[in-house]
Each structure stands twice: as C-alpha cells, then as structure tokens.
Amino acid sequence: MADLNSTFLGITSPNPFWLASAPPTDKAYNVNRAFEAGWGGAVWKTLGEDPPIVNVSGPRYGAIHSNERRVIGFNNIELITDRPLQVNLDEIRQVKRDWPDRALVVSLMLPMNEQTWAQYLPMIEDTGCDGVELNFGCPHGMSERGMGSAVGQVPEYIQMATEWAKKHARTPVIIKLTPNVTNIVPPARAARAGGADGVSLINTINSIMRVDYDTLTMWPATDGQGTHGGYCGPAVKPIALNMVAEIARNPETAGLPVSGIGGITDWRDAVDFLALGASNVQVCTAAMVYGFKIIDDLVQGLSDFLDDKGMASVSDLVGKAVPSVTDWQYLNLNYVEKAHIDQDLCISCGRCHVVCEDTSHQAISHTVNGVRRFEVNDAECVGCNLCTSVCPVDGCITMRPMTSGVDPRTGQKITSEKRNWTEHPNNPMCNS
Amino acid sequence: MATHLPGSPLSQSELEENFSDIHPPLSRSEALIEADRCYFCYDAPCTAACPTDIDIPGFIQQIRSDNIRGSARTILSANIMGGMCARVCPTEVLCEQDCVRNTHEDKPVVIGLLQRYATDPVIQSGKQLFPRKADSGRRVAVVGAGPAGLSCAHRLSTLGHRVDLFDGQEKLGGLNEYGIAAYKTVDEFAQREVQYILDVGGIERQPGRLGGDLTLDHLLGNYDAVFLGVGLGDVNNLGLDGEDTAGVVDAVEYIAELRQADDLGELAVGQNVLVIGGGMTAIDVAVQSRKLGAGQVTIAYRRGPEQMNASRHEQDYARTQGVVIRHWLSPRELQVTDNRVAGMLMDRTRLGPDGSPEPSGETVTLPADVVFKAIGQQLHWNQLADARDALATERNRIKVDDQRRTSHQRIWAGGDCVAGGEDLTVSAVQDGKLAAHSIDDYLRQNHG
Ligand SMILES: Cc1cc2nc3c(=O)[nH]c(=O)nc-3n(C[C@H](O)[C@H](O)[C@H](O)COP(=O)(O)OP(=O)(O)OC[C@H]3O[C@@H](n4cnc5c(N)ncnc54)[C@H](O)[C@@H]3O)c2cc1C
Ligand SMILES: Cc1cc2nc3c(=O)[nH]c(=O)nc-3n(C[C@H](O)[C@H](O)[C@H](O)COP(=O)(O)O)c2cc1C
Ligand code: SF4
C-alpha cells in the first residue's frame, strides 16, 4: 500500500487532499464533517476585516449541466466569510485542537496596508493553524474593493503583500493565485520574490453563465441584475493544469511548491495535477456537488494507482510529467501517427467519417465496395486525433505511430531522427 | 358479438389498469437522458429504417437542445402521424432495430418514446407548424380517412390544393380509431390527432361512401385527381361450415367494438378463447381478450414462430399477458353445440414440399366458446366494383408504382389497399405523402 501521507511546506496531512477555501470550509460544522469523512486538510473560508462583508440573499451559484444534470461548470458570486472574525477564530482553534493530524490552513484577504496585516496575522496564527493562504484570487465583489484578484493581477502588489505577510507570520505563507491573467508566471515569480513558501492555484475564472431565455436578462440574477462570477468545476481543469505546469517548467518559478486546484473530481484529476508539478491538491466544487464522501474515491483511487505504478508515496508522482511539457517549437515534426479503426469494435455510427470529411482531411470512408464501412486512408490522414476524440466506443479508434517505411500522405521516409521547428527549412529563422 | 356470453368479470378499476397506456410517456429528465444516448450517426441507419424517413438524429438533437417544437416539426414534416406512429410502430423491427447502440450495448435508443415526447405537446396545444402554400385552384378527392388518406390530404393541403375527404365511417382515422389496440392509444389520441391534421385547413369532409352513394366516375368528373386510401374492409373467412354460428367472431369487428365501447365491462368475454391467425390482429384480439378478463386464450397458427407476421416482441408481449401461442395448427372443423361454437378440430400441420403448411394427418381438438377469425383482411371489392373495373390489380390489391400512381392517370392509391406494402400505419402515412407529391407534380405540370 502506497503511503498517502503528505507534507506540503512542512505541513503534514494523512493524504494530499485538502478542501479549498470555500463554503465547504465555512465553519466548524462543515470542517468537522469533512475530517470525519477523511479529508486530509482544509483551508478555512477566507477571513477578512470586521465588520464582516454581506452576501446577496438570492442565488449565489449557477451551473452548466450535462443532460443527466451532471455539473460540468459552476459559478459563484459569494464573497469571503460573512461571519464575525472572532467566531471564526474560536472555531478554528477548536477544530485544530480536535484534529491535530489534519492540515488546517487559514485563508485571508486584507486591504493593502501593512498595519492591517501586522494586526491580523498574529491573531490568526494564535489559533494554532498550520499556515496561512493569502487570497489574491477572488474575481468578483472583493476585487471591486481593491482586494482578491485586483491584487493577484498586479505582480508588484503580490510581492509587496507577500513581503508583509512573511514579515508578520511565523507559519508558512501560501499565495493563492488568480487565473484571470494572460500569463501565470509573473504572478508566481512575484510571490516567490516576496518570500512565499508556496502558491496555490487556480482560484475561479471571470464568467457569466448564460441569459434567461424568457426575460433576456443575465442568469442567475439578483432582482433582475447579475454580475460576473467565478467559474470552477470540471470545465476549468485544463486551464488550471496548464498554469500549474507553466510554473513547474519555467526556470524562474520551477521548484516553487504548488498546491493544485481546479475541477478535481476524481482521483485521476488529482494524478494530473500531481504529475504536472503540484505537491498536493485542493477541492471545492466536487465536494459542493457530491458531498464529502467523494474523498473515499480520491484516496483509494490514488492509492491503488500508486501501487500499480510501483510508487511508494505521493512524492514519487509529483512532477513526473513535467519534463514532457515543452514549447510547440520543440515538438518533433518528423514523428507520424495514423488513425486506425478496429473493425470488430466499430458500431458503424459514422461519426468519424463525417467529422473528418466535414472538418478535417477527408481520410475516412463511409462505404467500401458498396457496404457501410469506415476505414482510414493513410494517404490523407494527418494524425490529428479528431476521429478518436469523437468516436463513442472506447478503444475503437487508436492512433498508431509509424516506425518505418514511407508516410503515404507526404511521401517522406519515416525516420527516427528528430527535427523540430527550430531546425525546419520552412522556418525563416532557421539557418540549418 | 355473441350476446350469449357474459361481460367482463373484472372490476372497473382492473379494466382501467389493464387498458392504461402500455408505454407511459417519458418525463423531461428521462427524455433528456435518453436523448443523450443518441450518437448522432452519420447517414443514420435508424432514419434509413424508418418508412417515412424521419430525420431521427436531428429530432433527438432538438430534444437535447430543448427545442421541442422544432423537434416536432422535424418529425411531422416527414410523418404527420408521428404521434400515432410513436405509439404503434413496431420499432423493434424498424428504427430501433438498426440503432448502432444495439451493436454497442444491445440496447437501442428508445426512439419511439422520444418521438412521442416531442410530438405530444404540439398535438396537445394544436399549434400548427406547416403553413399552406397559396391556393392552386385545384381540388383533390381523398377517399378513406385512415393514415394513408389523412397523410395525403394534409400534404396536399400544405402544397396549396383543396381536398374533399370521403369516409364511410362515423369517425375519421381508419384503423387508428377502430383497429389499433386500445392500450397503445389511450385518451382519444386518435381523434385528437385527426383534429390536428384537419386543422391545417383546406380539407373538408364530405358525406358519401365509394361504392354506395358515390362513384369513381363522379369523383373523376368533379375533381382534378383522386386518392384512394380505403384500407382493407373485408375479412378473410376460414372457409369452414358453420362460420355464422354464434361465437365465431371477426376479430377486427370485435376490436372496433372494443375501441368504441363506452363501458369495457359490457363487452362479451369468453372463458375459452381461440384465435386463428398469426398477425398483429391475432395478437391484439388475444391480448385484449385477456385484458378484458377472458379465462383461457390460445392463438393457433398454421406455421412456426418465425413465419408469424407479428414480431417477436409482440409475441413475447402476448405471452406475458397469459396468451398461449400454439404453432403448426390449422382449423379443420368447427364444433357446435346448441347452435353455439364449442370447439375446433384442428389439423396438426407440417411444412410441405412447396414451403406451405400441409396437414400431417394428426388432429387435435381445442375447446372454445369464442373463435376469433384473424387470418387477414382483403379489399372490400363488393363496394369497390367500379374501382376494380378501372384499375389494374396485383395479388388482389390495387397496383401502384413507386409514386403511388395507379393504372389510371388521375387516380393514386396507398396504404393497406395497395399491393406490395407493409400493412403498417407508418407505411400508409408514407404512401399518402408520396402520392400527394406525385399529385402535386401532376397538377402543376398539367394545369400549370
Ligand atoms: C387489429 C389491428 C391492429 C393493428 N395494429 C397495428 C399496430 O400496432 N401498428 C401498426 O403500424 N399497424 C397496425 N395495424 C395496421 C394499420 O392499422 C394499417 O396498416 C393502417 O391503418 C392502414 O391505413 P389505411 O389508411 O391504408 O387504411 P385504414 O386505416 O383501414 O383506413 C381506411 C379508411 O377508409 C375508409 N373506407 C373504406 N372503404 C371506403 C369506401 N368505400 N368509401 C369511403 N371510405 C372508405 C374506412 O372507413 C377507413 O376510415 C393494425 C391493423 C389491425 C387490423
Ligand atoms: C461558492 C464558492 C466560494 C468560494 N469562496 C472562496 C473564498 O472565500 N476564498 C478562496 O480563496 N477561494 C474561494 N473559492 C474558490 C475555490 O476555493 C477554488 O479555488 C475554485 O473553486 C476552484 O476549485 P474547484 O474547481 O475544485 O471548485 C470559492 C469557490 C466557490 C465555488
Ligand atoms: S486522425 Fe484526423 S485526419 Fe486522420 S482519420 Fe482521424 S480525423 Fe481524419
């Protein structure tokens, strides 16, 4: 059995699954239930200055569903905690006392002046919490007040606030980054320059869910008007993975500890984040959609996976896939794959044919000798992976590398020699 | 029928339960989940298997996108009786048989139920989806208001022609109203659908029955074209002595009586029901007899299960209703006691050298207080003498070409009354539609 014990910035937890700062960690009642269910840690719902903020009393959430009403994407306009500071601090203290083996980190959002940080950080750490996470990510409401993503979008502010925090905190400081930037590296670099112990990402993405088709107003709305919210859930995972990988592979940020967040629903999602460089992961939407019980699948799935891979602990997995992420210009342009359709598995739906015909390279037949039959014509197939993406039968269409002979599409001999764009004759910048 | 028999032994609530919707409609969430199972195939095999060529992946995609009216439009543009077909088509041998999900997981998308989900709201609301073209000034007589005639009339109307509709029955709809099993089309659906079709406008019902007060000559003299959708008004006889004995009953007539009954409890029900035949009518009369409370119900068919016209699915359903199906039995002699049928002496049959069943020499007697004749119907030539004189026939039905033109230049025909059809509601609808387009071409070419 693989060891799921996790250490992040020196903070230990029995597994690498923490609940992200959000409604599931809003108060002791929720966090106690989460720890009973088996969650390794929690980042407490973001605290702010007293008096507490006020939330709307209408819909905070909106969802995009599949037809089976699975939640694919989720959005919210909830602000930080709306409970008095002291209530939160008392509860945090008690929870940490009751669950000494779990990670308990407190999320924090404060105005941009050092005195406030100097005043609040000791109060928070006095609860016995294991660390603090600075919320520079919330993209709605708080950002209008110069906090949250308004800070996270300006690397200089991140660095400044991180420096204040490091100056006044004893425990590890995590900077939670906003994805509402064009390049995640400068904010991460700023956090590192400010002395951050690690970063967590992503927070939510600016989003409007849809309009109401009857009233033609934004949906969801508060008394007829809406405001953009933060998007999360399965739909945002690919965006989050890219940002995590960018930090992991960029020389200026490589090695900065990362807590991966965004759309994690089952153990495979966690494997994605860990392999692309995160040291642990945080979950919000999946818990909000299915309840805390999903931790069983997360823990057991990851554990079985590590066993299958012969890995003794989570840290063996961390970053494994990072070397495989590179720039487009370094991809091997001599490498050739062709689609292959397993006729025994094919159910003859014809989806591959029509998409290749309409939108790709006209490489799949629909009849052979007058009979409905779908076959790949290697002389046209560019290996794009579209047919495999749309085929409803798992494993029916596979991409197979060509290892010898001639590519019938280009007439080029297959070679094991690599050649990327920087070396390609069509590249005007290439002098070889 | 045989009035010596008592009414149903079942209570009103049992009867109600037995004759309730056999496949209740899908809820919205069931429909959305099922719609998601459709793979949106290219050149979809289900569409190819639908006699009316409904764009099935197209209408399912519209269900998925919550455009139910659009979905209904897609269906009804190909098949104006998409609502009835959703209920009565043997989908297991049509669209659903060819669903690629069968290959994938042995469970097709339930196309029929989705089709019903899409069409019910439109029939309910009465919302008309097809505008009529400008009046062509041409008039067409449609004889018979079953699926073939109504489909033809509706399409002709949308193409801009005026239609006079003749039907010998009190209610329109043909076998939709008088024949289809009651539990397939509950809540007066047949009449609601007929009304929806007529509401397109341009179609007028006229009194008269061809062969009665109406002649083909009269129609040809007063209309630009004539469509015949008269169905099969006559039943085949067993050819035995004593067929008019009390208790020997024409199955189609009994079903019609059942469909029109205000109180199912008053229908005469046998204790020992013997059904002779192997088609849909045999199955339907047997099943409905059971649902009415008949004691023993046996279908006797002169060939094996594979040759039965009723699909496997229909046979299985009958069995679940307690119907016994016996093969390789052919009626030989009615047994009569006190002027009532008491049983049937039957030959055990076997496959003869020419492929048809022949007596094996063995016999068996089945007791029966009711014998239903369900060995097929035929054209009511007595009523259609002038049509018989005017039109070429084939295998005792009206001969038509692929556009449903008869041998007469201004007469078209479709549905059960023509040769080479499937004897299904859906194929009758297709015939009517094809004929309408052919008539339209003819009228516009010849009267431009
Ligand atoms: C008991 C039974 C059950 C069936 N179940 C199914 C089923 O589940 N699914 C399925 O797909 N099919 C079923 N069928 C077959 C289906 O009902 C027919 O194929 C279909 O109704 C044929 O349509 P039609 O318009 O050709 O004829 P019909 O429906 O028979 O309509 C003919 C119309 O013409 C009128 N008419 C006849 N003669 C004249 C005349 N001389 N003058 C004026 N009007 C006239 C009649 O009154 C009638 O309204 C069943 C048939 C029967 C008998
Ligand atoms: C309703 C809701 C409230 C949230 N509130 C906070 C918050 O107070 N502080 C914070 O740092 N992130 C907050 N988040 C962001 C989540 O912690 C997390 O970063 C984001 O939802 C992406 O992860 P997920 O896809 O697992 O939900 C909130 C998210 C949701 C859905
Ligand atoms: S890989 Fe792309 S080009 Fe090749 S057959 Fe599939 S869809 Fe067509």
pLDDT digits (tens, 9 = 90+) for A392-418: 999 999 999 999 999 999 999 999 999
**pLDDT given at position B15:** 95
Centre of ligand 2 from the C-alpha of residue B22, in Å: 49
Q: What string of DSSP letters covers A182-203? A: S-SHHHHHHHHHTT-SEEEE--
The pTM for the full model equals 0.87
> Please, are residues A79 and A242 in contact by the beta-carbon 8 Å criterion?
no
Rounded to 5°, angle at Cα B82 from B78 and B86: 135
Number of Cβ within a 10 Å radius of residue A240? 26
Confidence of residue A348 (pLDDT cuts 50, 70, 90): very high
Surface-to-core class of residue A335, CB atoms within 10 Å of its CB (0-12 exposed, 13-18 middle, 19+ buried): middle
Out of A68, A366, A393, name the one closest to residue B42 (CB). Answer: A366
Confidence of residue B5 (pLDDT cuts 50, 70, 90): confident
Chain A residues near residue B33 by CB distance under 8 angstroms = 67-68
Confidence of residue B3 (pLDDT cuts 50, 70, 90): low
Strands A397-401 and A61-65, by their bridges, are: unpaired
User: What is the mean pLDDT of the segment spanning B33-57?
Assistant: 96
CA distance A67 to chain B (A): 5
Confidence of residue B447 (pLDDT cuts 50, 70, 90): low
CA-closest residue to ligand 1 atom 35: B144
CA distance B68 to chain A (A): 15
% residues pLDDT > 70 (chain A): 100
Which amino acid is present at B126?
A: G
**pLDDT given at position A142:** 87
**pLDDT given at position B212:** 87
CA A261/CA A234 separation, integer angstroms: 11
- Dihedral sign, CA of A358, A364, A368, A372? negative
The beta-strand segments (E) located in B127-189 are 139-143, 162-166
**pLDDT given at position A67:** 81
Indicate which atom in ligand 2 lies nearest the CA of residue A135. Answer: 11
Out of B33, B40, B100, name the one closest to residue A67 (CB). Answer: B33
**pLDDT given at position B383:** 84
**Ligand that lies nearest to the alpha carbon of residue B205, given by its number in the listed order:** 1
Confidence check: pLDDT of B214 > 80: yes
**pLDDT given at position B1:** 55
For residue B264, give the nearest of B35, B2, B7, B30 by alpha carbon: B7
Containing A48, the helix (H) or strand (E) segment is: none
Indicate which atom in ligand 3 lies nearest the CA of residue A388. Answer: 6
**Ligand that lies nearest to the alpha carbon of residue B376, given by its number in the listed order:** 1
User: What is the mean pLDDT of the segment spanning A139-151?
Assistant: 89
Surface-to-core class of residue B78, CB atoms within 10 Å of its CB (0-12 exposed, 13-18 middle, 19+ buried): buried
- Asked whether A171 lines ligand 2 (CB < 6 A), one says no
**Ligand that lies nearest to the alpha carbon of residue A374, given by its number in the listed order:** 3
CA A64/CA A289 separation, integer angstroms: 12
Centre of ligand 3 from the C-alpha of residue A300, in Å: 37
Q: What is the pLDDT of residues B75-134, one digit of tens each?
A: 999 999 999 999 999 999 999 999 999 998 999 999 999 999 999 999 999 999 999 999
Residue of B nearest to A70 (CA): B33
Confidence of residue B387 (pLDDT cuts 50, 70, 90): confident
% residues pLDDT > 70 (chain B): 99
- Entry field: residues in chain A: 432
Centre of ligand 1 from the C-alpha of residue A223, in Å: 57
Q: Where are the alpha helices (DSSP H) in A276-340?
A: 285-290, 295-308, 314-317
Containing B343, the helix (H) or strand (E) segment is: strand B340-351
> Please, are residues B368 and B274 in contact by the beta-carbon 8 Å criterion?
yes
Say yes or no: B30 contacts chain A, CB-CB below 8 A. no
Centre of ligand 3 from the C-alpha of residue A338, in Å: 7
A232 included as an active-site residue: no
The token pair that represents B317 in the structure block: 């359903």
- Asked whether A108 lines ligand 2 (CB < 6 A), one says no
Out of A69, A351, A372, name the one closest to residue B39 (CB). Answer: A351
User: What is the mean pLDDT of the segment spanning A296-310?
Assistant: 95
Chain B residues near residue A72 by CB distance under 8 angstroms = none
The beta-strand segments (E) located in B2-156 are 139-143
Per the listing, tokens 């699948």 go with A297
- Asked whether A188 lines ligand 2 (CB < 6 A), one says no
**pLDDT given at position A68:** 80
User: What is the mean pLDDT of the segment spanning B436-448?
Assistant: 88
Confidence check: pLDDT of A247 > 60: yes
CA B351/CA B328 separation, integer angstroms: 9
**pLDDT given at position B42:** 95
> Please, are residues B161 and B51 in contact by the beta-carbon 8 Å criterion?
no
Confidence check: pLDDT of B448 > 90: no
- Cα–Cα distances in Å, from B277 out to B233, B326, B327, B348, B395? 17, 10, 10, 15, 20
Confidence of residue A432 (pLDDT cuts 50, 70, 90): low
Q: What is the pLDDT of residues B13-44, one digit of tens each?
A: 999 999 999 999 999 999 999 999 999 999 99
CA B111/CA A85 separation, integer angstroms: 58
Q: What string of DSSP letters covers B90-105? A: -GGGTGGGG-THHHHH
**pLDDT given at position A431:** 66
Indicate which atom in ligand 2 lies nearest the CA of residue A265. Answer: 26
The token pair that represents B8 in the structure block: 């149903």
> Please, are residues B61 and B115 in contact by the beta-carbon 8 Å criterion?
no
Q: Which residues are CB-neighbours of B95 under 8 A, at least 6 positions away?
A: B46, B47, B49, B50, B54, B56, B89, B111, B112
Catalytic residue among A138, A356, A381, A396: A138
Centre of ligand 1 from the C-alpha of residue A146, in Å: 76
What is the 3-state composition of chain B as percent helix, strand, coil, each rounded to the nearest 5?
A: 40, 20, 40
For residue B151, give the nearest of B83, B197, B88 by alpha carbon: B197
* Ligand 3 cavity residues, CB under 6 Å: A 339, 356, 360-361, 363-364, 376, 381-387
Phi, psi (degrees; rounded to nearest 5) at B300: -115, 125
ipTM: 0.78
CB pair distance less than 8 Å for B35 and A67: yes
Q: Which residues pair with B297 in a beta bridge?
A: B273
Confidence check: pLDDT of A351 > 60: yes
Indicate which atom in ligand 1 lies nearest the CA of residue B383. Answer: 41
CA distance B143 to chain A (A): 41
